[in-house]
Structures are given as C-alpha cells and as structure tokens.
Structure 1
C-alpha cells in the first residue's frame, strides 16, 4: 500500500497538519520537530501528491480550456499551441466542450465552483459570452482566443489576428489577377471577424474605383453548405462573377464545388479565396488560395499570457494581435 501523510504523522508523532506545514513550508514550526518529520518522510519514502501540494499552496497547476466542439477544423492547431506552452511549464490542461449544450455547461460550472483550475482559455461557445464575462468579472483569470469579446466591449483579454488586413490582402490579390466582379460569402453577422473581413475586402475594391453592390455580399455560416447554396443562388439570379472571397475555408470548398458543378472552372472562370488555411486547404482540388490564420501561434500566445499572469504580470487591457499572412495556391493561379 502507498505511504500516506497519516503514516508520516503517526511515525513522527505529530498531526497531519504539521506534516503538511513541513511539506509546504508554511507556518512557524520548531526546527527539531520539522527535522524529525523530514527524517520520517525520507525513511518511509513518502512522495506527496503533486495535486495535494499545489492545492495547499492555492494552485492546481491546471489550466481549463472551454471550446464549442473539437470538430471545428482549426481547433486542433489552437489546442496544440496551448498544450505546447503549458506542458513545457509543467501545467496540465482540463478541456471542456459544449457538445451537450446545457448539460456540458453545468458540468463546466461545477468544475469552476470546485476551483479545479487556475485560469481559463476560451474559444467562446455560442451563447455563453455573458456567463464567461461574469466569471472574469468575479476574478477568474482568462484569455479569449479569437475576437468574440468585441461584442462585450473588450473586457476580457483577447488573442486574435488581422482579419481586416487579411481580407484586404485577398482583395489586392484578386484585383492583381484582373478579377473585377467578385462575390463575398461572409460568416455570421454577429461575429466581429465577419465585419472586419467584409470591411477589409470591400474597402480595397472601393479604393480601386470598383465599389461592390450589396447583392454581391452574401451571408454565410462558415459551413460548406453556405458556399454551395450562395453560388447556386448567384447563378440562378444571373449575377456575373469572376471571383469569390469566402470568410473561411469550408465555405470556399462549397463554393468551388458549386462552381465546378455549374460547368465553370476554378480558377479559369472563377478564382476562389478562403480564410483560415486549415490543413485540408492545401489538398483541395484545386489547392485553395487562402488567408493563413496563425492558429497555433494564437494558442501559444494565449497560454503564455495566462501563465505570465500567474507569476504576477497583469492581464493585458488590449488585444494581442498576431498577423495573418496570405498563401497563394492553384485556386487563383493565372
């Protein structure tokens, strides 16, 4: 049987509280007593539970992470970035998803109440921002990955990317290859990134003397189906287009599918650009030109920010922005 703190206390003829104080260096102890306890610990080969020691010190050395679902195609990159930083500093990760809706959030709330982790990384699940902001206001250290906190006025520290500039780069590229009749398939309007990507793209075309009419900006939901449906609708209504800028890669895959099904070619008839640069983008047919989000770097930066706070650094009061880059592939090749 494993040696317990009770065994040490009995052999040293002290209380378990005294043994705990010796282990954690807390409280004033008679040096003779402390030496006797340390000798018994060595004699018995007692190894204290890391979790018990950390809890006694008021720390778990565990970081929580709340995400909508692990099925999001870029989630793995963000997670890996966070885990790389946490493991290097001997922290664990406690991962929560919202796959079961309210049941998932009740389970998460129970872990918050039990103080099972020292701080929280968040990719905000749908409809939870008010609850998350309340946890932050009550003192739970956290960092939001992506830009959802813009909706709550920027109260939570955030790590994001250059959505506006990335979309502007896409527009400059399409103009550079002579595409003057683009469609835009957006993300959900409630997301800050959707507005930034729309503004960045439209401003470049407007500055070039080619303002885009409202019917060329089509609402999407970041899924393959919205790319398919919006392209079919544009063809049915007779909108002429020679390019499509999609706010994520999945909708770009759908757009390419619908374009090719209509008998048109990509990129010959229609050039297509996505956003994210998920691993599948390089293997699409044709390979997808896209704005590369620094997903792993965003996970790393968020984790570093939280760990620095544990060591006494204040949480930043402005977003941490990691620039996006532009990756040209076959879907826009001349």
Structure 2
C-alpha cells in the first residue's frame, strides 16, 4: 500500500516550532540573514529545522519577483577526490548560508568545453561564475572569481596561494634534513599553477643555495587525475640512474604515485627516499606513510571565492576592486620525509648509495 505524501511544513509552522518570528526564518531561508544581522547559530538552527521538516521555500516566486535566479556556476578541471572536491565543499559552505544554488561542470581540459560551459551557464541565467584552475579567456557579463587561475583581467578577482612562501617552506624543510639532490615533479602544462609554482621553486632554490639538476626535473603528462601520472614519471626518474634522495611533487596525488613507484623499485619511504607533496588533501594524512606536504587552504579558498562572488553580485565591493586575494600555505610534517644520513651498512640505504654516486 502506497504511503500518503507528507504535507510540507509552512513558514508559519516552522517559525512557531523554532519560537522565532516569521521574518527571521524567512530572511534566513531567502539568503538575507547577513544583511539583517541574524546570528550564525540561529541561521544554522533554522536551516537544519527546515531541511529536517521538509520546508520548501518558494524560491521560483521570489526569483521572479526580484528578477533573480540565486544560481552561480562553478567550473573545474575534473571532479575527483582531492583538490576540486575540497574547493567545492568550501564554495558550498558559503552558498548554503545565502540560499544560493550552484551548477558544477568539469571541462577535462577540453578547449570546446572551456569555451562552451560559460555560455551554457549564462543561458541558464547564472548570476556569477567561479572558475577553479580553469582559464577564462572571454569577458563575461556576470562577475567572475578565479581560484588559482591567475586571470589578470579587469573585473576578475583571483584567489591565489603565496607560492613563494610554499616553495621556501618545502625546500627549507628538505634542506634541514640534509637533502641536496632533490628530484622535482612539475605539474601538467595545462595547470594554471604549474609555471608560477616552478618559478617560485627556482627562486627558493637560489635563496637556499640548492642546486636544481635538470636531469632530476620531470613533468606530469597525463591528464588522468589519480596517482598514475606521478607513478609514471617517478619510474622514469629511477630508470635514468641519476642520484637523488628526495622528491618534491606538484601535488599529493602525484606524490602518492611516486611512493608507489619507489616501492616497486624496492625503495623505502622515507628511509631511502623522502617524498614531499602539495595541497594536503584528505588522503595525505591517511596514506602509508602519512604524507609530509604543503597545506594549501583549499576549503578556505572556496569559501573566500564564494563570499567574494556574492559580494560582487550585490555590488558590495567598492572600486577599485582588488585584483588578487592571497591565501597562505603551511608545512605539515608527517612521516614521508626523513633525514638523509649515510648509514654504516653498505647495502640497502639509497641515501648513502646515491651520495656516493654523486661524489664519483
């Protein structure tokens, strides 16, 4: 026997249940809580009760009255565990507070999709767009916020990491452990961060008097989002037979791939080779060994991007508007990096063997 549909709760009933005024409940659900200084705790209580009791706001009617859609578009390279999903979760945090919806699309680095998706979103009347590590080459009639896109155009606000600080933290850490022969895994050519991050690494290496051996620099090639590309280039590094005692990878997934390739070769991390990642995705702390990495505040970057875009939509940011909002990294030391100290045993320690090769 079919169950009778549950009658949706009304605004009046929801307000009575929470012992709040209907205007407070309405303003919170309709994304006007901040303007009316409604406490964060009250907002969360209202939203939780509304979801729990099946309250459905008449958003379509509100949008028609105000000629608004309360929808933004989010463009990412791919939707996979790690970078993009963490950024999206931060975007969602902010949009939920203001009653906005969002459309997410992934372009997989295809030029036709990079061009077509913004047009598709505009056809659906989005009020703004957040581009995550995705170049936007056309001027858009709606506000645009770019995360790690380095989009230097008038009207675009970029949310960017301080890559100089990140490179200093990473290389200073490896140097403090005695590593001089460091292999580097650069990002794919299509990533917006690749060039800037490599320039920062070169500058940090000069400052710290670390010599970069071009023979120990490899670049990720495959667009595959998993650890496969990192595993592939690390195998190449090992095949060249050039000595190195540490790897600094472009991101955590490529660092995890590097560790897999090192294990295939019978090498231990960090006893034989240290590995340092970048991003501090959730998997970094759960990997074996837990990954030493540069923490990029991805969730915060999503939150800042969303709050900035909403402020642009409401015309709350005065001119001249900032071109860049900088966020800052920190080093998270776990168990994938260790001291490069030659051991007395002549066999089984790659650090010692590699150092001997370099001195020949």
Tell me if TM exceeds 0.5.
Answer: yes
Runs of 4+ off more than 6 Å: none
Q: How does 1:59-74 map to 2 (within 5 A)?
A: 59-74=68-83
Q: Kindly provide the CA deviation profile for residues 305-326 of structure 1, in whole angstroms up to 9, marking residues without a partner as x.
A: 1111222223733111110111
User: Equivalent residue for 2:184?
Assistant: 184
Whether the 8 Å contact between 2:76 and 2:132 is mirrored in structure 1 is yes
User: Equivalent residue for 2:295?
Assistant: 292
Q: How does 1:92-107 map to 2 (within 5 A)?
A: 92-98=101-107, 102=112, 106=116
Give me the whole-angstrom Cα distance separating, in 2, the residues matched to 1:142 and 1:328. Answer: 35
User: Equivalent residue for 2:237?
Assistant: 234
What's the TM-score once normalised by structure 2's chain length?
A: 0.70
SS at match of 1:134: coil
Give me the whole-angstrom Cα distance separating, in 2, the residues matched to 1:225 and 1:175. Answer: 28
User: Equivalent residue for 1:275?
Assistant: 278
Give me the whole-angstrom Cα distance separating, in 2, the residues matched to 1:103 and 1:154. Answer: 23
Q: Kindly provide the CA deviation profile for residues 258-304 of structure 1, in whole angstroms up to 9, marking residues without a partner as x.
A: 11221221111111000011111111111110011101100100111
SS at match of 1:263: coil
Pair 250,113 (structure 1): closer, same or farther in 2 beyond 3 Å = same
Pair 274,242 (structure 1): closer, same or farther in 2 beyond 3 Å = same
Give me the whole-angstrom Cα distance separating, in 2, the residues matched to 1:147 and 1:141. Answer: 15
SS at match of 1:196: helix
User: Equivalent residue for 2:136?
Assistant: 129
User: Equivalent residue for 1:9?
Assistant: none
Whether the 8 Å contact between 1:275 and 1:291 is mirrored in structure 2 is yes
What's the TM-score once normalised by structure 1's chain length?
A: 0.75
Pair 69,109 (structure 1): closer, same or farther in 2 beyond 3 Å = same
**CA drift at 1:146:** 1.5
Give me the whole-angstrom Cα distance separating, in 2, the residues matched to 1:48 and 1:230. Answer: 52
Give me the whole-angstrom Cα distance separating, in 1, the residues matched to 2:204 and 2:174. Answer: 10
SS at match of 1:330: coil
Unaligned runs of 5+ in 1: 1-46
Q: Kindly provide the CA deviation profile for residues 85-143 of structure 1, in whole angstroms up to 9, marking residues without a partner as x.
A: 1111222223233369657975763441242x211112255xx632xx332xxx21111
**CA drift at 1:180:** 0.7
* Number of corresponding residues: 278
Q: Kindly provide the CA deviation profile for residues 125-171 of structure 1, in whole angstroms up to 9, marking residues without a partner as x.
A: 5xx632xx332xxx211111123425xx5762111212232122110
Q: How does 1:200-211 map to 2 (within 5 A)?
A: 200-211=200-211
**CA drift at 1:233:** 1.9
User: Equivalent residue for 1:113?
Assistant: 123
User: Equivalent residue for 2:168?
Assistant: 168
CA RMSD of aligned residues (A): 2.6
Structure of larger gyration radius: 1
Give me the whole-angstrom Cα distance separating, in 2, the residues matched to 1:224 and 1:245. Answer: 15
Give me the whole-angstrom Cα distance separating, in 1, the residues matched to 2:271 and 2:109. Answer: 44
Whether the 8 Å contact between 2:170 and 2:294 is mirrored in structure 1 is yes
